[in-house]
Structure 1
Amino acid sequence: MSLADHIFIDMCKDILQAGVSTEGEKVRPKWEDGDFAYTIKRFGVVNRYDLSKEFPALTLRKTAIKSCTDEMLWIWQKKSNNINELHSHIWDSWADKDGFIGKAYGYQLAVKHCYKEGMMDQVDRVIYDLKNNPYSRRIMTNIYVHQDLHEMNLYPCAYSMTFNVTTEKGSEKLKLNAILNQRSQDVLAANNWNVCQYAVLMHMLAQTCDMQVGELVHVIADAHIYDRHIPIVQDLINRPVYDAPNFWLNPEIKNFYDFTVEDIRLENYVTGPQVKNIPIAV
């Protein structure tokens, strides 16, 4: 049983058993038929994944590693806010007629800021500090920019990464750790998708900066299961589980901006059947 499965199952059971229902509250999301989308939620969920031990892809069902990586690279590498530069269609509901989602996600990472060392965007600043000042406690990104919220078609859910480098006894390489902060998460639709995205990001940054991967800590302020997802989740967490897959990253790539989805793969990835046609609240 992979650790990711264990964490996911325990989290879902905790939400279903000890969570608080939003039924009757004034909620924003609606289902496609116009009904309000209520949830069972838990506040302040914290999950820890040791990437040095295994890659945290669920085996309960398949996580589409190339698709979630494509979205991550769309935000972090292309720094785009146009869905026409993204292969999946998960952002279509929030895009305008030209494909833009407003000043959100990749747009914010592309904004250059003035530092003592010169003008850099947030991604380049992270890479600069990891290479030149790895023990800094100030290596972080933040795309929840209040002054631009009114021009975002969707407020960022996963909004901040804080990187922290440690030494590993007996190792010549430094260890890259990170905290992913998320204000809100649809656990069924997005949990492992986000976890895998940022696990891949950490592997890429570690290789770029000649480090090894350490812990990914995922902090979710509002972890919720939608009312229409409850039977799907109950079925999912009672499935058989398998060993974690092996993660492969092309060792030839040393520049973060050179990575593509073809430079990653999951080997020996055995999973249960895919969950199809999950209703999404908007």
Structure 2
Amino acid sequence: MTLRHPESQYLDTLAYLLEKGDRRIDRTGVGTLSMFGVMMRFDLSDGSFPVYSTKKVFWKTAVKEMLWFLTGQTNIRSLLSENVRIWTDWPLAAYRKATGSDISQEDFEDRILADDAFAEEWGDLGPVYGKQWRRWKGADGKEYDQLAEVIETLRKNPSSRRMLFHAWNVPELDQMALHPCHMTYQFHVSNIGEGLRQKVSLLVLQRSSDMGLGNPFNVCQQAALLAMVAQQVDMTPGELVWVGGDVHLYLDHQDLARTVLEREPRPFPKLRLLRRPDSIDGYTIDDFEVTGYDPHPAIEAPVAV
């Protein structure tokens, strides 16, 4: 029996959305084809790195975003310094609305990089992902590092069912540029007590997923996180289990989806971490060696803000 390519799970979802998706108006006003409830599983134990091949995914940008989350930062300035522009749309829209300016994205980004005060006022996204992962502020006034606690539990009590972190901090939602989409990360360890090398797997619950642009990025960066955590706790990466709630295709991404569905998926690349930093905080993009990535061409598509 020949196993289907794991990317087929993604392609099947796109095909379903095009054929049977529920047409609806969404928060952005663009409109979507939507379905509720999807699960995809990717086995990372042989070094596979689930970077989709039916359109080129800029995996370095995706991993850089994950590394930014891990810092706990919330300002786009550090992202822009790494040539990552995927979060600019939200503060740019806020600036234009507040000031009436028709400033270009390029000029806005240049000013963020050059002007400390401007960056502080207009470059901050509010308490988004990394803030909640690494600096959740409790009612007691203390800050809680959820990810550090997960890593400590993986080392000391790997059979725990409480190894998770999330970003849905209800009192702070209205301060965020965008409510958390990939909101819950839960870890699970297998081979406990069997004399085998333990495997750590990761389940990500994503309440809302843009399948045209967002999902290929998210799956890639979540796999990178699993690889880093596994290395830090001396385990082998197991499965990345991705679960989507409102899974949707924007109406202006239908041509993208049709083009992707005409293409045959190619083998996933392999990922190797070139060194082991002292902690989860020490990784840089140069630590990621990805080999064998041979995707079909990239497809341009607009981002809904």
**TM, length-normalised to structure 2:** 0.82
Amino acid in structure 2 at the alignment position of 1:28: R
CA contact (8 A) 2:231 2:276 kept: no
For the residue of structure 1 that corresponds to 2:122, the secondary structure is coil
Aligned residue identity for 2:302: P
Letter of the 1:125 counterpart: E
Compared CA separation, residues 2 and 85, structure 1 to 2 (3 A): farther
The one-letter amino acid paired with 1:46 is M
| Gaps in structure 1 of 5+ consecutive residues | 30-35
Query: How does 1:190-201 map onto structure 2 within 5 Å?
Result: 190-201=214-225
* In structure 2, C-alpha distance between the alignment counterparts of 1:113 and 1:91, rounded to whole Å: 23
Q: For residue 9 of structure 1, what is the aligned residue in structure 2?
A: 11
- 2:223 matches 1:223: no
Paired residue type of 1:201: L
Partner residue of 1:179 out of 192, 203, 215: 203
2:131 to 69, 88, 107: 107
Cα pair distance change 1:168/1:9, threshold 3 Å: farther
Q: CA distance change for structure 1 residues 120 and 281 in 2, over 3 Å: closer, same or farther?
A: closer
Deviations 1:61-102 (A, max 9, x none): 2211211111001112x1111111113111112236431001
1:69 to 56, 63, 88: 63
Shift of 1:194: 0.2
- Indicate if the aligned counterparts of 2:5 and 2:265 stay in contact, CA closer than 8 A: no
Residue type of the partner of 1:14?
Y
Identity %, equivalent residues:
31
Aligned ranges 1:119-130 → 2 under 5 Å: 120-130=144-154
Match of 1:133 in 2: 157
2:238 corresponds to which residue? 214
Map 1:1-282 → 2, pairs under 5 A: 3-22=5-24, 25=25, 27-29=26-28, 36-53=29-46, 54-76=48-70, 78-86=71-79, 87=82, 88-95=84-91, 97-111=121-135, 120-167=144-191, 172-276=196-300, 278-282=301-305
The alpha-carbon deviation at position 19 of structure 1 amounts to 1.6
Q: 1:174 to 1:272 in 2, by over 3 A?
A: same
Q: Distance in 1 between matches of 2:240 and 2:271?
A: 15
Change in Cα spacing, 1:130 to 1:79, as seen in structure 2 (3 Å) is same
Shift of 1:142: 1.1
- SS of 1:28's equivalent in the other structure is coil
Structure 1 vs Structure 2 CA RMSD: 2.1
8 Å Cα contact 1:163-1:176 kept in structure 2: yes
Q: Do the aligned partners of residues 260 and 113 (structure 1) sit closer, same or farther apart at CA in structure 2, a change above 3 Å counting? A: same
Segments ≥4 residues shifted beyond 4 Å = 168-171
Counterpart of 2:118 in structure 1 is none
CA distance in 2, matches of 1:112, 1:224: 29
* Total equivalences in the alignment: 268
For the 8 Å contact 2:135–2:143, the answer to whether it is kept is no
Q: CA deviation at 1:11?
A: 1.3
Once the two structures are TM-superposed, the CA of residue 126 in structure 1 deviates from its matched residue by: 1.0
User: Letter of the aligned partner of 1:74 in structure 2?
Assistant: W
How far is 1:154 from its partner?
0.9
Code of the aligned partner of 1:223: V
Kept after mapping to 2: 8 A contact 1:66/1:265: no
Shift in Å, 1:2: 7.7
C-alpha deviation, 1:168, in angstroms = 7.1
Quote the Cα distance in structure 2 between the aligned partners of 1:144 and 1:196. 22
Q: Which runs of 5+ in 2 are unaligned?
A: 95-120
2:97 alignment counterpart: none
| Cα offset, 1:244, TM superposition | 1.6
Q: Return the offset for 1:40.
A: 0.5
Shift of 1:138: 0.2
Deviation at 1:279, TM superposition (A): 0.9
Question: CA 1:6 to 1:168, structure 2 compared with 1: closer, same or farther past 3 Å?
Answer: farther
Indicate how the Cα distance of structure 1 residues 106 and 198 shifts in structure 2: closer, same or farther if over 3 A, else same.
same
